[in-house]
Amino acid sequence: MGAMVKRFREDPNGDESALGLCTAGKWVRGTSTLPKVFDQPNGSKLELVWKGRQPMGPRKHPSLFSESLGVLMAMSRRFDWTKNWELQDVGDKEWLWDNIKDIWELDETRKEPTLGLISRDEFKNKKSKWKRNFYTRYATYEERISHRPQQLSQQEWVQLVEFWDTPEHQAISKRNRANRAKQIAKHAVGRISFPQFEEIMSQKAGAPPSLGDPFVRTHTSSQTHDALDDQSREYIHKMKDLEGIDEHGTQLPLLDEIYRKVMPPERHGRVSQLTEILRVAQKKEERRLEIEEIKRQALEKDEQRRHEIDEMKRQLDARDADMEARLMKKVANFSQMVSRSLGNGLELKIKYLQL
């Protein structure tokens, strides 16, 4: 596998420096083949810690797990990128599972979530990134065809561009853009799922976060420590003002009541949904373990019944063999008795004739 690379993005106006010194461009991360994942020693596998149906740790491994799925998808030349993940060939998904479990510590209980939600999201993210960087940036078909993602073959890229050019897809894209425009307060969670982000906060704080804590963390820039947009800034300032500070000047924890008071009703479920997702996932995991235990007990009972049946059959066979042996012995004794009787009778007849 290749190493992580960076390339100089060309000037959107078309002026690209051959030496990579163009001031209009910008250094960006190039196509990754994840050597830190795929260049593992033989027999070595990377660890994943799961909570419910989502990997939660170690720290960067969940993101690397998703990215490694994407690399396998793109490099395999097996998948049809013009179709949704649900419509991909079952055999190709099985191939993906066989290869990913050679790299990561995975048992069969992780197959369904890996090939379901996790792979679906990574498949969708791959296409979104390609569309943003190699399709939307250019205005004509010729320009788009000439700027191909390194992970796709020319044939795959042409098919994908032509698919995105269809009127049906253009209508869907227009509707999606309108929906995204309604999202006033932006977040900065990135590739980390909301349940995973909440789990990280819980581990650091030693207790589950309030409704307001994830909102502040996900809507604040880690570089400038300022809100990502004016709407988020207004919400955060209102929550902190209502909560106040203690006698030492330290910001008091944001209570759930403060969050609900500041945020509009339609957003009350967006952050609280994180807790609900974790609760539902935990319930599902408990139910799965319960079902597994019931299956295990049933298998044990079946095995016990099989042993009992085998033992009864063995005893019956042994009894039948004993009865057969005794019967054969009786037949042999009877035959000997008959033979002796016939011999004695013949001897008496000879003596009688001699008289």
The residues spanned by each domain of the chain are: 1-27, 31-181, 194-263
Range of 90-94, 274-278, 341-345 with top mean pLDDT: 90-94
**pLDDT for residue 18:** 31
**pLDDT for residue 14:** 38
Other C-beta atoms lying within 10 Å of the C-beta of residue 245: 11
220 close to 231: Cβ distance less than 8 angstroms: no
What percent of the chain is modeled with pLDDT above 90?
Answer: 26
Q: Which of 15-24, 50-59, 115-124, 332-341 has the lowest mean pLDDT?
A: 15-24
Q: CA–CA separation, 102 vs 97, rounded Å?
A: 9
Between 180 and 98, the more confident residue is 98
The secondary structure element, H or E, covering residue 26 is: strand 26-29
Alpha-helix residue ranges (DSSP H) falling in 58-211: 61-76, 90-100, 111-113, 119-130, 141-146, 154-164, 167-181, 194-205
What percent of the chain is modeled with pLDDT above 70?
Answer: 72
Is the whole model's pTM more than 0.75, yes or no? Answer: no
170 close to 181: Cβ distance less than 8 angstroms: no
SS3 16: coil
**pLDDT for residue 15:** 39
Q: CA–CA separation, 60 vs 40, rounded Å?
A: 16
What are the φ and ψ backbone dihedral angles of 50, each rounded to 5 degrees?
A: -105, 150
Q: Which of 48, 49, 59 is nearest to 101 (CA)?
A: 48
Strands 49-51 and 54-57: antiparallel
Residue 341, both tokens: 């009787």
pLDDT at 93 over 90: yes
**pLDDT for residue 180:** 64
Residue 244, both tokens: 């106040």
- pLDDT category at 199 given cuts 50, 70, 90 is low
- pLDDT category at 112 given cuts 50, 70, 90 is very high
pLDDT at 166 over 80: yes
Range of 52-56, 144-148, 347-351 with top mean pLDDT: 144-148
Q: Which of 11-15, 36-40, 124-128, 232-236 has the lowest mean pLDDT?
A: 11-15
